[in-house]
Amino acid sequence: MTDELDLLRRANPVPGDAPRFGDGPLDHRAERGLERLLEEGRPARRAPGSRLLWGLAATGIVVATAATALLGGPSTQPALAAPRPLAVRAHSTPVPLAQLAELADAAAAGGAPRLRKGTHVQTWSLGMADGKPPVTLPEERVVRWRADDSHTELVVATDPRRPGRPVLTDTGGEPGLVADGHVLSRTTYPPSWSDAPPEAAPPHTPAALRAYLAEAVRTGSPSTPELLRAVDELLDRWTLGARESAALVRVLADAKGLRPAGQVTDRLGRPGQAYVYEGGGSRRMLILDARTGAVLGLETTFTRDDPAYGVQAGDVMEYSAWMR
């Protein structure tokens, strides 16, 4: 803990005079940023490429609460197992990103759907620690922004026995629960605004969007893993419109090492095209709508065993499925 506190003090990621956070507690995105910061300062002995959950002790309490609520009590056999990795359909034809970009441009000609601030996403994240078995907490999150720049965030634990089944109803107003959701948090944040990515509205031209994503990960020329991380952060803030999705496909088409893999059905039952990048002990699979280029999901799996953390090649490290 001392090393982590020293790291935070030196980095000062949330200065006291920062306008974004001066009015209230850190939001979901800020907390994830702190997770990454701590992850970068830890020793190399960890699962390769993973986003270690630095608050695992506190997370364990939430996991236990969610497991009890979902599965009927502490004596019930836990079902919080990681999902199986998605499989590309055998003998399907991969679609090059340049070709998909043309389809996305055509789909965006009418300008609809439009960009919207806020997100609706299901996520699976693997929490790991020395000497403890990996734990996966599936969550669903809806963030909605209001006209006064305040926003609400509802986070619900999903039932791992029903993978891919949304547990939140989202009709454009306040999100509501369905039967198998257990509320982890329901928060209203005061008005806030920033002109820095990913808070600022993303542009809809490829060159401007490329610069926007580079600024989001604070590097002049992001590598493909950094680019995919920037996309993840963007989609956790914004639901892209047709024009922004088309521009993103153009940016991705220039990413080195991101190869077309073929057709895949995502965890919400939606057909898409898979694009894969491998390196650093992990495989990242980006799933795009084959007609519009919209991002449907992003999956990261281990490509080698790490006995120290009880993970094997093929285990899902994390997954996000975005919905409109």
Q: Report the C-alpha gap between 138 and 180 in whole angstroms.
A: 12
Q: Given this model, what pLDDT does residue 222 score? A: 94
Q: Kindly report, residue by residue over 52-102, the tens digit of the pLDDT.
A: 332 333 333 333 333 333 333 333 333 345 578 999 999 999 999 999 999
Instruction: Indicate the range of 23-27, 60-64, 150-154, 274-278 predicted with least confidence.
Output: 60-64
The mean pLDDT of the chain is 77
Print burial letters for 204-219: b (CB count within 10 Å at least 16), e (below 16).
bebeebbebbbbbbee
- Predicted confidence band of residue 126 (pLDDT cuts 50, 70, 90): confident
Tell me the backbone φ, ψ of residue 156, rounded to 5 degrees.
-130, 140
Spell out the domain ranges in the chain. 2-319
- DSSP, res 310: T
- Predicted confidence band of residue 242 (pLDDT cuts 50, 70, 90): very high
Q: Given this model, what pLDDT does residue 83 score? A: 73
Q: Which two tokens stand for residue 76?
A: 């019930």
- Straight-line distance from the first to the last Cα atom of the chain, in angstroms, rounded to the nearest whole number: 39
- Predicted confidence band of residue 310 (pLDDT cuts 50, 70, 90): confident
Q: Kindly report, residue by residue over 255-306, the tens digit of the pLDDT.
A: 999 999 999 999 889 999 999 999 989 999 999 999 999 999 999 999 999 8
Q: Given this model, what pLDDT does residue 18 score? A: 46
